[in-house]
Amino acid sequence: MTIADLIDNTRLELGDELKTRWSDAQLLRVVGKAYRRLSHVLYRNDIELGRCLYRFTTEPGRDDYPLPADFMADYGLYREDTATRLTKQSDDSWQQQGTPAECSTWLIRGETLLVGGAPTGSIPLVLIYWPLFDTATLDMDSPTPFGGKLDDLVSEYAALRLKNIDEMDIGADTQLLADLENNLLNTYSAISPVTVQRRGWLV
């Protein structure tokens, strides 16, 4: 499905197939806002559907690398050659870590990913992260994000949001967002594995 198809479906909900009330540009903005809100809902609730992979290779002696343009928050950084996870540092622990082993720790500072223990060679790394949907890239011919899995949620949210604009009811907007989040969680939270903490014989 394309964004144009999604907007057509939203118009059916609005009873505005002739485009007499809302322009395509207005609908596009509301749809974009819905996807950006979903980005935060997916991250906040740790839904696997919202994660992306970014692969890059280190350069000898280099310890700073740019983050993906759509980076919002990290899930983890991994060495693909050894199948190990690098230890993420805080600013405090980063400053006190001394001389870490090669490519063993990392830190995000601004729009840069810093690797502790500057690599001496080319090491394949993969960053798993949460992207923030970029509305600037959204156009009518674009395929819908998330593989189309959230199209109905976005269409219904956009239609309800537009119906509510004339009412100027803040309470209704809050309820719309809650409904969007609840629908997403009910559908996709079961896909992500749940880690159960059990008491051991030493505890």
Nearest-10 Cα torsion for 103, 71, 156, 181: 50
Q: Is 177 a residue whose pLDDT tops 70? A: no
Question: In terms of pLDDT, which residue wins out, 56 or 188?
Answer: 56
Are 120 and 10 spatial neighbours (Cβ–Cβ below 8 Å)?
no
- Per-residue pLDDT tens digits for 34-74: 898 888 888 888 889 999 999 999 999 999 999 999 999 99
- Per-residue pLDDT tens digits for 113-158: 999 998 999 999 999 999 988 887 788 998 998 889 989 889 988 8
Gap between the Cα atoms of 70 and 112, Å rounded: 13
Its pTM surpasses 0.85: no
Output the 3-class SS for 66-92: ECCCCEEEEEEEEECCCCEECEECCHH
* Both tokens assigned to 89: 């540092």
